[in-house]
Chains A and B, each alone.
Chain A
Amino acid sequence: MENIIHGIFLLLGLITVGCVLLMTIYLIISGIPAIREVGLFHFLFGKEWAPVLAEPKYGILPFILTSIYGTAGAVFIGVPIGFMTAVYLAKLAHPKIKSVVSNAVSLLAGIPSVVYGLVGMMVLVPQISTLFHIPDGSGLLAAIIVLAIMILPSIIKMSLTALEAVPKDYEDASLALGATPVETYFRVSVPAAKSGIATAIVFGIGRAIGEAMAVMMVAGNAPNMPSIFQSVRFLTTAIASEMSYSAGLQRQALFSIALVLFLFIMLINTALNFFLKREKVE
């Protein structure tokens, strides 16, 4: 009897592993055919995506570059703001302010991505269009700003946890040697928490590269090569925008895009694990 129950729990535990294997295998099986048909080089480095032409073109370089640029832009804007906020909350803020701001950050994290998309669509896109005198404000810039806002909560929360875990002795020693509090926080606490902060950044990158709906609502969705005011399509939105009506090779190509996105995510996960392990060692 006990053995049967042990077996059942083992099975339940292994379901997670099963799910990961299932997803990996499914993505590979369904992603390979289109890549083989189009050719790996043409697929990854082709600059044109035009699946409905008489001579269809399946190049996803625009999507890959857009995803990379978009994520880089979001990290470039979101990380400094999130990092500075985290240092302030962890070290300088009055406990009451800290609790109010952390609750606001939790709320920010919980807002559905379609709501971000909607606000971006109704506020950000028209603003960009009037500010830069372009006919349509939806494009890479709008997507970058929305993504930057969306990764803020995770960056703040994870950096905050890392900064709070820095031993008080380090800071006391620095203060006793005559450094001011602010100097201590930036020259002692931050370096001591660096792998935690690195984890936060990598996590943010994962979030940004995987976001689909909010980006779909503000990026314009034309398969152009990325440029700051152009309407662009990300890897995620490329999958989402054509899935409902595609068939045949076009549909299979979408699965291949998912495979490419999955590989990116796995790469980021590996980096994340690396930093997490280093944090544990420290």
Chain B
Amino acid sequence: MCGIVGLLLKNRAWHEQLGELATPMLQCMSTRGADSCGLAVFHRPLPLEKRRFSLYVADRDYDWQSFHAGFSSGTGGDARLESRFNHATEVTATPEADVRGWLRRSHPDVHLLSVGRVIDIFKDEGRPEEIAERFGFRDLQGTHAVGHTRMATESAVSPAHAHPFSAGQDFCLVHNGSLSNPYSVRRRLERRGIAFETDNDTEAGCRFLEWRMREGDTLEQAIEKSFRVLDGFYTFLMATADKMVLVRDPFACKPAVVAETADYVAVSSEFRSLAHLPGIREADVYEPAPEQIYSWTLSSNLTSRN
């Protein structure tokens, strides 16, 4: 069992309250998974040439200032640091490949969680309430957020195995369920030179979808293909720079509920974690159907159910 939550704010005036609204959703779902927790938050986009690099390290007293000094001189860019305990974000125009190379050489202990113009990922092993508090989820601002509380069933409990998983740029996925063929999917992708960081089933799903998008598919087209490739139980909640997308496996083995108002779209494993949202009593509350793609886009300020 795991818990998944997502919140996309259609009302721009609410962007400052993203963390305030999404954090209770996530904390409420700690009853579905209390061994790890994570949140992806999507900010206002950086200038075209800049990227956010979300970083994780095990040590909660890590010296990010000296890391930053090394990062700035080592990557040759003009970087900006935001840090909180064992999480930091470096904002820089240095290309991703150069940052990855420098991290590998100079700081193999620092784990790169995500890269993009808008995405930041926070995750760790431990109680969701404590993790949300430590990383200050309530203060986060942005357009949308996707979170996960994990109760591991198929691979180890570790910070790297926590969700969200990210591949490519500005894309993440959280998963409630378990895939039954992650290794065959993984072998298929590894033959194409795609590298994996964990033995987690969700990472296989995440990298499959990202590979299809790199090959030119939209996320929706990639999901259509995944119906024929991924076997197992899943409710997947995904996000890109301007979208939140939800899909359940053909048997609908894992739960999901959606609440929509003029101001937001909220998704959770259970209605319980949506009950605090403003206007929830008047919201359109429904259960997504099996094997149907539900996609909500920010830019048009319209929601579409495919």
Instruction: Report whether chain A binds chain B.
Output: no
